[in-house]
Amino acid sequence: MNCMKSLGQKLMARGFDRQTAELQVRIAILNRFTALGIPFTEPAV
């Protein structure tokens, strides 16, 4: 939840459908940042 708040304390959208879409976009951004931060390791052959 702390990461969600780092992208903004409040929701900008007023309607419920738009709020859910905004949260889904924020979650997608956080997941992408997490994926970029995970190192990809390969076994040395």
pLDDT in tens, 1-41: 677 667 777 888 899 999 999 889 988 998 998 899 888 88
Biggest distance spanned by C-alpha atoms of the chain:
55
DSSP, res 40: -
pTM (two decimals): 0.68
| Alpha-carbon span 14 to 21, nearest angstrom | 11
Q: Are 11 and 1 in contact (CB under 8 A)?
A: no
